């Protein structure tokens, strides 16, 4: 939805006096565009005035997507493990050191003792915020991807080994 259309829907939800006051503050070209969209909404039969549904529709396009850390915090240990199981210990250690994750203990429980030891040894000595942010955003993107796409990126051998690994636990 374009910015003018969103604005028209938001204005349509206001009382007439408020709508006119806001429109009067805008440049003439914007007023014409918005008035045509407002007329279209009226013609289509949408009730004007304070209308919560229209306001929610206008604001839906402006919703802020969750950032990488929020997506990671909401993930399960199994989801993170499925993505990081075949990654180098240094990368996994970077992820673990980048925050206090709700899933961290469960994630480590999914790892073998040798893997946990490797993660301890690979823990970063000092934080590099730009690199950490990049790694977290990349992981969050992989979390958002369908499982099949993640497995395709992992490769067929890793896909088979991950399935076998699930049987041996």
Lowest mean pLDDT among 26-35, 58-67, 134-143: 58-67
What is the structure's pLDDT at 15?
84
Question: Which among 65, 54, 62, 64 is positioned nearest to 14, based on CA atoms?
Answer: 54
Question: Which among 133, 129, 111, 130 is positioned nearest to 120, based on CA atoms?
Answer: 111
As a whole number, mean pLDDT of residues 76-95 equals 94
Q: How confident is the model at residue 156 (pLDDT cuts 50, 70, 90)?
A: very low
As a whole number, mean pLDDT of residues 39-65 equals 65
What is the structure's pLDDT at 19?
87
What is the structure's pLDDT at 53?
57
The torsion defined by the Cα of 82, 165, 100 and 125, in degrees rounded to 10, comes to -100
As a whole number, mean pLDDT of residues 88-92 equals 93
Q: For residue range 129-142, what is the model confidence (pLDDT) as tens digits?
A: 888 888 888 999 99
| Percent of the chain scoring above 90 in pLDDT | 33
Is the model more confident about 128 or about 77?
A: 77
Query: Distance between CA atoms of 35 and 31, rounded to whole angstroms?
Result: 6
What is the structure's pLDDT at 120?
94
Instruction: Please state the domain extents for the chain.
Output: 3-60, 68-168
CA 26 to chain centre: 34
> Which of 15-19, 99-103, 147-151 is most confident?
99-103
């Amino acid at each position: 939805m374009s910015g003018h259309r969103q604005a028209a829907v938001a204005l349509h939800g206001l009382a007439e006096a408020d709508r006119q006051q806001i429109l009067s503050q805008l440049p003439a070209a914007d007023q014409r565009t918005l008035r045509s969209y407002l007329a279209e909404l009226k013609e289509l039969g949408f009730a004007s005035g304070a209308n919560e549904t229209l306001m929610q529709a206008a604001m839906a396009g402006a919703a802020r997507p969750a950032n990488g850390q929020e997506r990671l915090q909401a993930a399960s240990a199994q989801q993170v493990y499925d993505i990081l199981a075949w990654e180098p210990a240094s990368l996994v250690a970077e992820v673990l050191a980048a925050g206090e994750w709700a899933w961290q203990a469960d994630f480590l429980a999914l790892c073998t003792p040798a893997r946990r030891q490797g993660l301890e040894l690979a823990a970063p000595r000092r934080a590099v915020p730009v690199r950490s942010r990049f790694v977290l955003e990349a992981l969050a993107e992989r979390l958002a991807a369908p499982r099949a796409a993640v497995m395709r990126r992992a490769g067929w051998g890793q896909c088979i080994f991950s399935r076998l690994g699930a049987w041996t636990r």
